[in-house]
Structures are given as structure tokens and as C-alpha cells.
Chain A
């Protein structure tokens, strides 16, 4: 290439384009041409899709259930007047908290704090119950205890006024609010629940899951106990659940395989549930039910604490029929104690 000759023959000297500059400018333009072509090819969406009908594939939730024991009871009922003593007694009857929680475990406790209510109204998990369960977890060697719920009312208000925020601070627990980034899509082969937004952030750490629910009347599905408690793990348009409430609640028994559920029947919301609002709605029953089968626990709660006919509680029957639990709590290995 005789570029130097050409350079010399070009009229004004400032016109000279050196070989380096020539290649550089050619290279920049060429790179931009090639770059835009490659980028467009990589980003190309050659086909349309049908909005709203895209295939969804959410996460699967693993089981947190303990090993099945043929010796130890799967259901324990304890009667007593104080939360801590009664919960201790119930757990002792099941074989101790050590059966469920081991050294180093991260325990997620799911209370029911759906409403902005003081503890006396029995619409939310009682702070004394949370304190007792958290204490037992730490005694069994738990490394950390997470408390999380996605309430109906404002989360901060619910946790604060139910008294749980104070217990969290006192016991050095971790409170997880349902924040924007706390959710992930969940896939389930439920009767109605197939794909839903799930409150996932506690489960990134948790190795054990304990459901700690109050025993309550419910206007639509008759009762809110340990199975219905998992409602608070879901996000999205939950107000659609009411269209198929019994199917949905029974699907919760498929979705969640907890380590342990505890039904707090010390004070039971007998009427005007699930919100309550008057002390006259609350009845003192001085009972804690704990167990590994939430359907059995709830069947005890419905018949013995809410004192109603189990035949009408459709969701328990649905779960029982699908093999997700045993509605005949008397047939399970159970133990009744007094604190």
C-alpha cells in the first residue's frame, strides 16, 4: 500500500489521514455496525406471545416435616393457665422441643397477626405464646428465630399492636415484614391453588417451620386455626381466595409441610371472627394443642375448643380425603396432659 505517496501528493497537509487514524476510524464505525447487528440479533423476539397466558413455573416449597415416629405422639393437648408452662407441657408430651429443633437450626415461626388488634381480643397470636415457643427453640439449640407474616391490616401496625414487636425485641428474634422483594412465584398442584405469589424471604434461611396460630371463629370458612394460618404466607390477590375458600385452605395443607404446629386455645375467639373486637367474643379455654398433623390439631380445636360439629368444616374433610392429614384426631397417637 502506497499510502505515504498519496499522503505526500494530497494538497493541504492537515488533510493527511494517518494509517493508524484510518484504521481506527474504520474500526470504530465497523464495530458499531457489527455491534448493533449482533445486539439486535441477540435481543430479537421473533414471535409474539399471548399476554396473561404465558407458562408460569414458580418455586417448589420443600417439606419441613419431622421424621415420623411410631413411639412418640403426633398430637398433644395440654391444659394450664399460663402460656409458657402449658406450651412446655404440650411439647414435653410430644417428646420435647429437641425432637423438632436441633443445634444450629434457623426456625421460622409463623404467627397469625392478620389484624391490628390488642392481644386480649384473641384475634392474633398472643405475645406470651410467641415468647414461650421462641424460648423453647433457643433452649433446643436454635441459632436464630425468624417471625414473619403477611397480615391483612398494615404489617407494622399488626405486629406492634399485637404485642409481637415487643417480644421480637426482647427475645432478639428477627422480624421479617412482607416487603416488595419478599415474594416469589410458587407452583402447587392444588385443587385450586396452582400458581401464586409466595412470601419467600423467610424460607431462604429457615431450616424449621413452626405454625403458631390462635383458635378463632371465621365468618366464611367457620374457623381459622393452624391450617388457615398459612394464608399469611401468600401475597397477591388473596381476596379471590374467598371464591373457593374451602378448596384453598385445604390446598394450604398440601403447600406447607411444617415441622410443628401449635394451636393456642388459652383464649378462644368464639364469635365475630376472624377479627373479633369485643371481650365478650373471647372465651378462656386454657388449652394448648401441638402436633405434627395440622388437620388433626384443627379437628381437635374445632370440636373441643370452638365446640362445634366437625362435619361442617369442609376444608378439613377435603384435606383428609386427599390424604393430607387425619381428621379423626382420636385415631392418631395422642396424649393429653395438665401443666
Chain B
């Protein structure tokens, strides 16, 4: 019943951990890098998100389902229930980032006493449980908000919207063919800098204080069968075990089981060989459960439910929806979208036209950093469903090209529409400025084209006649891809613009009545004859 390691084994174990850290961190970076049309092939680029049990658990609360690959999270739940939070110091790429930056910048290289003091448990570290409780309460209410702080979501989002564009800015064309832009990237950038910088003050600040996934795994760790155990007959209370303790889990006294990252540093650092990783040691020498009081849990619940209620009753996901909330193709209906989207921004990373952008307040407080289309920056490529392929939670369903375009067996259903384009005749060259154009008609990708034009001869200001084509929109055919808006020569505010109305994902937001033959289609048939 007791696993005892001799010093050589310990040395090996610590190194095994380092090998694992390098491996998983590299794997994460590799996945981030290949989330690109050119390299994607079949790599499971959202694997870390699918392994994340908090993603699976929280989406199961909001949707009552576990979407496709989220089943992989069982692979992490199992070892956590047996060995504790090994994820935090062996696998988690964001944890490894803080481990390494903490070592580079922080107290890890300070004098021995200072390091020991930096790694003592603080009451502040219970904050992450309150954060987790608030997020779960919000999920029970009906909005998924784990993405704010879930480390995998946070790291993916930071990579997609900040780090990769930054690399490309300094080394052009190394990441993108043309520079990518992300609306409000600076906010995400400063949050990343802040969280990394906090390692100077508190080592592993994010992991110890904020991480809701750590809190979730810490809660599961309460029942772990193995843990670090201190042999009280050997211990001389030197506290050297705290020197490199990553989790600040008090191995020098009663081990805080839910705080321990199972990094094994303490075992090696103990000069008396008093610490070991043991199967089912006595409960008397551990703090089994997370140290969060009922009162704080209650406050966390109130904050979570309040967040849901305040955000939902603000109306942004309902009657007062914003015309700019144009969701990626295959997205589920807006309230379901907010039940599923974890703001990981993998869709934004993989989008080949840069049209997908992290929302700010367009879809309300709940929808911050969820993907919306910005046709000024890009447009939705008709024969592309990459965003749905990488979405781990089904906020964007894994639709096929045929399902998206309404072709083949899906011809009867018709295409997925993202919205509808409307002409602004006051800004349109042929409509308002006696100038030929119809770029919009040229690029319209559907067949027959949703944009059509009628030839007119008008008398110009100087009295000369000019014949030009004036564009019209057929709302029954428009799929809201936005290439007309993107290519319009009126580049600051295009003369044809897509708004969300008419999107097929929501029956409440359709423009034309289902099942009816519209006048526009009849009109088209007439023109074809």
C-alpha cells in the first residue's frame, strides 16, 4: 500500500515530468501553428480543449449533452481522481507557461528563505473556487462563462488574437500570408501580460488564485487515492519542501490535497527523505477538501446567477439583438450559442479570411470574445467550414460543405444563411453617383446570383447620357457571406452591408417566411425566361 521512491527514482520522476511538460507544451504550440488551412490536414487541433473536463462539465450543464470529442475529457478525469491535479504541472500548457515564466522572472531564483515564504499557502488561493462556483452557477442559470479564465481557452485565445499576430507583425508572412487583425486584441494582450507578470509577485499566480479548471480538478482531487505524504517521524520541520512547491499545498504540514500540483519537487527537495507519493495515506495528515467557506460559496453562486440574470435581461441575445452579431456558418441559435461557446477563438484562428473577430459588446456581456463576422476585414468563404471543424463544443456545428451550401442531398433545405445584405443606395456609385460599378454582383458567389442589376440610362450632371447597371438584392438567394460588402469600393462604410436578419440558425430572426415562394424568386424566374 505504500510507494516509496529512492533518490535515483525521484530524480528520474522529476525529469520525466519535465519531459512531459516539454512534450505537451510543444504539442500545444504545434496544434496552434497548424490550425491553418495550409497545414490543418486532419490534426486534432482542439485536443487540449476536448481534454479539458471543465469544458465538458460546464457544457453538459448548459446543453445536457457532451459534444463529440469532449468525451476525451474522461482521459483527464480518471488520473485526477486517482492521483490528483497532475494535469496542472504535467500537461496544462498555460500552467507550463506560468511555471517557466515564474522560473525565469520570479522568486524561483531568489534566495532560499524567500522562495519558501513565496510558496506558503495563502487564503487568497481559495478565490479560484469562488470563481468556479460563480461560473457553474451562471451555467446552471443558462450562460457559459468558463472561457473567461479556463486556462486552455484563455491560452488558445491569447495565441490566436495576440501572440501569432504579434509574431507576424515583427516577422511578416511567417504566420499569415497577410497580416491578421483582431478587434480589441489589445485587451486580450494586456490581460496576458498582466497574468504572466503577476508571477513576479506570486509564483503561479494564475494557477493558484484564478484558475477555474484548477479549482475543478482540485475538487476532484479530494477523493484521489494517491497523494504526497509526510513521514512525521522523519520530518525535522525545515520547510525545505516548500522551496520549489508549485501549488503552495503545504507539504510541510497537513497536505492541502486540492492544491497539490503533483510536481514531485518536494520529494526531491526533502533532505530527510520524509516525503513520498503514497497510496491512501491517513486522512488525518491532509486537508482533504478545498478551503472555501459556505458563505463564500454562497456569494459565488449569487454572482454567477446574477451575471446570468443581468446579462440576459439586458436583452442583447433576445429582442434587442445587434445587427452585427453575424455568427459563423453552422452556429446554433443565439441562446444555444451562448450555452456552448467557450471563447477559445479556435474558429478565429483557423478562419482563412480573418473575417471572424472576437466580439466586444455586440452580443452583450455574455458574448464578449465570442466569434462574429466583420465583413470589413474579411468575408465568409462559401466552400469553407473550417470554423465548425475546430469548434470543440458545437457552438459552431461540424457542418459539411454540402450542408452549408444546401447542395446535394441538402438541396431541399437550402443553404445556411448568415444574414442578409442590404443596399445603401445613397452610398452606391451607380445609384447615387452616376458611376458604373457592380463589383458586388461580380463577386456574389451563389448561383443564380443573389445580386442582380438592371441597366438604366441616365442623364449626367453635364447633360450627357450614361448607361450603367444598378444593383438589387434578392433576399431569398442571399446567404449573407459578405463578400459584396468586403469588395465594395466604398471601403469605410460599404454601400452594401450584411446584417444578421435572415440567418437560418434562428427561426425568430428569419426575414422571409419559411415555406412560401417569395416574389423575389418569382422575379428571378421571370428574368431567366
Contact = CB atoms under 8 A, between A and B. Distances in A.
Contacts of A194: 514-515
Interface string A13-55: 0111100011001101100110011011101111111111100
Interface stretch (A81-89, A208-216, A233-241, A310-318): A233-241
Interface string A237-266: 100110110010000000000000000000
A69 interface: no
Interface residues of A, number: 42
Interface in A50-64: 50-53
Interface stretch (B18-26, B77-85, B99-107): B77-85
A6 B510 contact: no
A12 B223 CA distance: 23
Contacts of A33: 77-78, 81-82
B233 to A, nearest CB: 6
A53 B413 contact: yes
Contacts of A14: 282, 284-285
B518 A243 contact: yes
Contacts of A49: 397
Given A43-B66, A52-B504, A192-B516, A240 B81 contact: no
Contacts of A17: 1, 280, 282
A28 B71 CA distance: 22
B81 A32 contact: yes
B193 interface: no
Report the interface size class on chain B. 35 or more
B388 to A, nearest CB: 7
A178 B394 CA distance: 33
Given A33-B78, A36-B74, A45-B67, A240 B282 contact: no
A193 interface: yes
B389 to A, nearest CB: 10
B354 interface: no
A43 B59 CA distance: 11
Nearest to B56: A40
Interface string B489-504: 0000000000000011
A28 B66 CA distance: 23
Contacts of B281: 15
Contacts of B82: 29, 33
B399 A244 contact: no
A50 B399 contact: yes
A195 B515 CA distance: 9
B386 interface: no
A47 B68 CA distance: 6
B512 A243 contact: yes
Contact of B515 (A21, A25, A52, A193): A193
A244 B332 contact: no
B504 A244 contact: no
A33 B223 CA distance: 10
Contacts of B513: 192, 237, 240-241, 243-244
A15 B279 CA distance: 12
Contacts of B394: 45, 48
Contacts of A193: 515
B1 A6 contact: yes
A51 B232 CA distance: 60
Most buried by B among A14, A45, A193, A247: A45
A50 B81 contact: no
B220 interface: yes
Interface in B202-261: 220, 223-225, 231-233
Nearest to A49: B397
A29 B416 contact: no
A120 B416 CA distance: 49
A50 B406 CA distance: 11
A31 to B, nearest CB: 9
B77 A36 contact: yes
B374 interface: no
Contacts of B56: 40
B64 interface: yes
Given A32-B81, A50-B413, A40 B74 contact: yes
Nearest to B78: A33
Interface in B38-58: 56
A316 B518 CA distance: 21
A314 to B, nearest CB: 15
Nearest to B77: A36
B508 interface: yes
A48 B398 contact: yes
Greatest chain B CB density within 10 A among A11, A33, A241 is at A33
Nearest to A15: B282
B506 to A, nearest CB: 7
A16 B282 contact: yes
B225 A51 contact: no
Contacts of A46: 68
19 contacts: A11-B231, A14-B282, A17-B280, A17-B282, A21-B283, A25-B280, A26-B225, A33-B81, A36-B74, A40-B71, A45-B67, A51-B397, A52-B416, A52-B503, A53-B403, A192-B515, A240-B513, A244-B513, A247-B516
Interface of B: 1, 56, 60, 64-68, 71, 73-74, 77-78, 81-82, 220, 223-225, 231-233, 280-285, 330-333, 336, 388, 394, 397-399, 403, 410, 413, 416, 503-508, 510, 512-516, 518-519
Given A33-B82, A44-B66, A243-B519, 15 more contacts: A11-B231, A14-B282, A16-B282, A26-B225, A28-B223, A36-B81, A43-B64, A43-B66, A47-B68, A48-B399, A49-B397, A50-B397, A194-B515, A237-B507, A243-B518
In order of increasing CB-CB distance, the 3 nearest A-B pairs are A240-B513, A48-B398, A45-B65
Interface of A: 6, 11-12, 14-17, 21-22, 25-26, 28-29, 32-33, 36-37, 39-41, 43-53, 192-195, 236-237, 240-241, 243-244, 247
